[in-house]
Structure 1
Amino acid sequence: MAKLKAKKIIDAINKGIALNPTTIEIKHTEKVIIDGAFEEVETIKTLKALIYLDDSSTQINIDTKTIGTSYSTNKYKMIADKDAELEVNPKEAIEFKCKEGHMKIKATYPIVIEEIVCGYECDLERID
């Protein structure tokens, strides 16, 4: 049986992104200790990713706070390369604008093969 190799997965991710790249700028605000006090430092990271539609028509989210059943889908997904270093936490959301609209990264899933991070798969939420 063939074994997955990290280099082949990295090459496949980079080739997929190169076919239909979307350049996005992620603004990240981080609190850094400078001279004993916290200061907010904003960094801008530019990366190329692949944004695509995902068919998740079988997913049903039930919201009990409203009357009836609320149906929602995660239609947009994103693949980023290994250098993206994306991390999502509840306190700091990552938002960006692209040709598909204003997006927010809901979750990131690192693709790890042979203990090497080959890329990231992300769930996106469109914000109007």
Structure 2
Amino acid sequence: MATWPCCAPLALAKSGSEGAVFGHPNGQTDLAITPAAIRQQVTAVGRDLYDSHETRRQVFILASDLAPGDSGGGLVNPAGAVVGVAFAIAPDRPGTAYALTTDEVRPVLALGGTTAVNTGPCLSEA
């Protein structure tokens, strides 16, 4: 089992911090780097993908012009450390995007990719 030192490249960030998201907007092959600033950190309350239970996650609200395809991209501070992972944009609020904080990402990274995850009904056999 992995231990916390595996996650040393992660860093903490706070409101007002600046950085960039490294992603592949709109499915482009080349890596794009999009400026981002953390507006605030909130506890996001919502439903899981299958609408079966409530979820609570620590999330950064970003000032950034991200696009579909940037999800999963690292939010990186000027020192080069990952401080979050982009996961959504606000289609009704241009220039607003969201990233999970390192507190949310660390437990997943600690698994070291050793645990299989069932796709559930997301993928079906054609």
**TM-score of Structure 1 vs Structure 2, range by shorter chain:** 0.3 to 0.5
| Structure number having the greater strand percentage | 1
From the CA coordinates, give the structure whose radius of gyration is larger.
1
Scaled by the length of structure 1, what TM-score is found? 0.43
Scaled by the length of structure 2, what TM-score is found? 0.44
| Structure number having the greater helix percentage | 2
